[in-house]
Amino acid sequence: HGTSRVNDKGHLEIGGVDTVDLAKEYGTPLYIYDVALIRERARGFKEAFQKHGVKAQVAYASKAFSSIAMVQLAEEEGLSLDVVSGGELYTALQAGFPPERIHFHGNNKSRDELMMALDHGVGCIVVDNFYELELLEQLSKQYGKKTAILLRVTPGVEAHTHDYILTGQEDSKFGFDLNNGQADEALQKALSSPHFSVMGIHCHIGSQIFETTGFVLAAQKIFQKIGQWKETYGFIPTVVNLGGGFGIRYTSDDDPIPVSEYVDQIVEEVKKQASEKNIPMPEIWIEPGRSLVGDAGTTIYSIGSRKDVPNVRHYVAVDGGMSDNIRPALYDAKYEAVLANRVLDEKNEIVAIAGKCCESGDMLIWDLPLPKASPGDYLAVFCTGAYGYSMANNYNRIPRPAVVFVENGEAQLVVKRETYEDLVRLDVPLKTKVNK
């Protein structure tokens, strides 16, 4: 997929660059992003809305993968940006991202984080709870600002891949409950404050969703309320944000639907609802993370040790694992992989790909058909672009990998590999040892 292909050496090539050369130059584990594919995904979302001639913003959920270069790429593609912490906000500002196109999320934003957002003129704060509503009102007052906000609601629609759950009251740490009066109270409070400009409503129903139904139901539920709010408070939203969650193909078992289908369904439902409730068509905002960068990322590892458990399994270990991709350990996530330096060789055994961390759960793939692999070979694991590097950690004091962008035959290092010095940089030695 994307610009991936096999070159005449039988190596995996991405963006016109030989991944084996990249592994040799930058070391492994190495994250490689296919920039052209990220652009294609971004344009896919934007064009899907443009086709309908409706006003929309596509905000990249930077939690999926945040770095200065990534944020700059999102800007180049005309995306907005969703940040969920001071750290993601800082990264966005360092990248020179226009603050007015940043949306600030999170269920426990601190006073400092909110002040940082106000200081920099962040476009919109997605208010999650009553505590935040009060805190932000105080701060806005201090700043003499009228802060643009969305209210995050939990509509009682929860989507899980091919399933969705409808609940009267959702047991979630996020947002104002739509069904028990919380959202009404929050809206009333927000509207009565001179320090807020309430742009609209936000909801996010889940992640890695393969169905449009959940989005349509969420829109229906939200508009049911919007209809009431129009009568009760004279409130008319200018924005309806339906969150992210669009599913991608990790393995051949996954069957994602085209982005345009989600967008078509969402736009049609919002149009229908707006006309039924007799309100002007609001702007539609969405916040894809995974579906913008997930399949654009590939991780290259070096093959290391091997353990054969007779009649049971062949363990083949790589030089990374749950430290650079915790998703298999955390969510039982599935991936596919090939030998980057021998893509077309006959796959004559089924192996289990183990990480190098000191625990048995550190397995990347349980059953992978591969040519007989040995040290000197490179493993390329596909679709690691979302929530891979962003959830990487230093368990076992393993340095985090480097990240490279490739496009049109060129590679650019965008995140350096961590060094051992980096690992101890924040450590403070015992006083007694320092004084000696």
Binding site residues, ligand LLP, CB under 6 A: 61, 64, 82, 105, 204, 207-208, 243-246, 287-291, 327, 331, 386-387
Nearer to ligand LLP, 29 or 243 (CB): 243
Given a contact cutoff of 8 angstroms between Cβ atoms, the answer to whether 357 and 398 are in contact is yes
Q: Does the annotation list 53 as a binding residue?
A: no
Q: Three-class SS of residue 147? A: strand
Q: Check the annotation: does 421 bind a ligand.
A: no
**What's the min distance (Å) between Cβ of 234 and ligand LLP?**
28
Q: Is position 25 annotated in a ligand binding site?
A: no
315 labelled binding-site residue: no
Q: Which residue, 320 or 373, is less far from ligand LLP as judged by CB?
A: 320
Percent of the chain as helix, strand, coil, to the nearest 5:
35, 25, 40
Q: Which of 45, 27, 34 is nearest to 12 (CA)?
A: 34
Nearer to ligand LLP, 329 or 386 (CB): 386
CA distances from 190 to 133, 177, 203, 277, 397 (A): 7, 15, 17, 22, 46
Instruction: Please identify, using beta-carbon distances, which residue of 316 and 363 lies nearer to ligand LLP.
Output: 363
* Least CB distance to ligand LLP at residue 3 (A): 22
Residue 177 · residue 154 · CB < 8 Å: yes
Name the active-site residue from 124, 203, 357, 358. 358
Q: Locate tokens 């980096």: which residue?
A: 422
In sequence order, the β-bridge partners of residue 407 are 410
What is the four-CA torsion angle of 365, 371, 374, 378, rounded to 10 degrees? -70
User: Was 369 annotated as part of a binding site?
Assistant: no
> Quick check: is 357 catalytic?
no
The residues, ordered by sequence, that sit 6+ positions from 125 with a Cβ below 8 Å of its Cβ are 103, 104, 109, 114, 117, 136, 147, 148, 149, 150
Check whether 290 is labelled as a binding-site residue: yes
Contact 145, 198 (CB under 8 A): no
What CA dihedral angle connects 131, 137, 139 and 140, to 10 degrees? Answer: 150
Nearer to ligand LLP, 211 or 377 (CB): 211
Angle ∠(285,290,296) on CA atoms, nearest 5: 120
Supply the Cα-derived Rg of the chain in whole angstroms. 24
DSSP 77-104: TT-EEEE-SHHHHHHHHHTT--GGGEEE
Minimal distance, residue 376 CB to ligand LLP, in Å: 31
> How far apart are CB 171 and ligand LLP at their closest, in Å?
16
29 by DSSP, 3-state: which? coil
Please report how close the Cβ of residue 371 comes to ligand LLP at its closest, in angstroms: 29
Q: Report, in Å, the least distance between residue 175 CB and ligand LLP.
A: 9
Which CB sits closer to ligand LLP, 286 or 343?
Answer: 286
- Tell whether residue 101 is among the known ligand binding residues: no
- Binding residues for substrate are 290, 327, 331, 359, 387
| Residues with active-site annotation | 358
- Binding residues for pyridoxal 5'-phosphate are 245, 287-290, 387
